[in-house]
Amino acid sequence: MQFLENFTPELTISSPGRINFIGEHTDYNMGYVLPTAIGNTITFKLAKNGYQNSCNVHSVGYEGFSFDLDKIAISDTEWQNYVLGVLNEISKLTDKVKGFDCTIESNLPLGSGLSSSAAMECGLAFGLNELFDLGLSKITIVELSQRAEHTYVGTQCGIMDQFASVMSKEGHVILLDCQSLEFQHIPIDIKPYKILMLNTKVSHNLASSEYNTRKKECEEGVAIMRKKNPHIKSLRDVTSEMLETSKNEMTKTVYNRCSFIIDENQRVLDMVNAFKQNDLKTVGEILYEAHHGISKLYEVSCPESDFLVNLAKTNPSILGARQTGGGFGGCTLNIIHKDAINSFTAIASREYSKKFNIQLDAFEVQPSGGTCIL
């Protein structure tokens, strides 16, 4: 792109992906989550270009594009909507953004359940906030990025990914209450264990439509239970007893979805206690239990993720594993003894490739800090 030839960035921003220890699909049900940012990031280089409305964005590995701030509209090219959606949301809050140039470079594998979308949205919003001195708070950046995903990308996501990308702290996980947005940074030290991610390299493209379907199924459950308990606003207000009382009025599918979410919220609180007591054995058991729910009750797993979690179960050096993120592929998260990483990675790669003819990626991650200026 022409502007890249004499592009001197004024600002460089690093925006991380995230893992989630526990609390999957609980965020849009107003429950609890336990994510943290990781060291894999998207880097934005930004500069004002002196024009009133004209902007140029170039993403390494993709074709660049230019647009006019006065004519922001949804694009047919999917990744551009992360950029355009953010600008559309910012334009509702301020008119201080003017022409800018931007390059984007990622070492965060796309579509792998590590939230490259939130890293993209939040990194750009954070960068424009700095570049044009917009005065937006961190939570405003989180919320406008989430809305960008709803309106321009079309996934009715919860708030976890954007929150984790912006608010994380090195060496900590975030216990976030998605109803009140109250949160705590909880220090974690899992030595001599490590967090090993296995990327299945599959991202089934039903993910977005199935995601929105899960949300609707949960809302259907809430509407049924509200008839008997008018105070219920979301699954956060539902107990197992309430669910049992309405069981015969709902389909088995809706029952299973609600049952998973109620248990998953409890698992978040149980895992926080286990971390606080340094009881990693319990942390691991909760991971396996959660994966069972993800696979059988919420039905957002896939044969590839199930295979890797089952393989982890055969290895005594692994305390627990589960698929992390929105589902239908992406990565499994494994809590593994440091001395077993090489041998397990070799076995997992060999067996996975034998079964699916796909070469998986294995990498360690650590709880890292949120979006920042470099």
Catalytic residue IDs: 161
Of the pair 127, 327, the CB lying nearest ligand GLA is at 327
| Closer to ligand GLA by Cβ: residue 24 or 89 | 24
Residue nearer to ligand GLA on the CB measure, 160 or 319:
160
* Rounded least distance, CB 351 to ligand GLA, Å: 27
CA distances from residue 372 to 12, 15, 98, 155, 235 in whole angstroms, order as listed: 9, 7, 22, 26, 34
CB of 213 to ligand GLA, least distance (A): 13
CB of 18 to ligand GLA, least distance (A): 8
User: Given the rule CB under 6 A, which residues bind ligand GLA?
Assistant: 24-25, 27-28, 115, 157-158, 160-161, 325-326
Q: Which residues pair with 100 in a beta bridge?
A: 48
For residue 124 the two structure tokens come to: 């750009």
Residue 113 Cβ vs ligand GLA, minimum distance, rounded to whole Å: 7
- Residue pair 275/186 in contact by the 8 Å Cβ criterion: yes
Helix 280-296 vs helix 303-313: angle between axes, to the nearest 10 degrees? Answer: 150
* Smallest gap from residue 300 Cβ to ligand GLA (A): 8
- Among residues 294, 290, 270, 268, which one has the least CA distance to residue 282? 270
Give the β-pairing of 65-68 and 35-48: unpaired
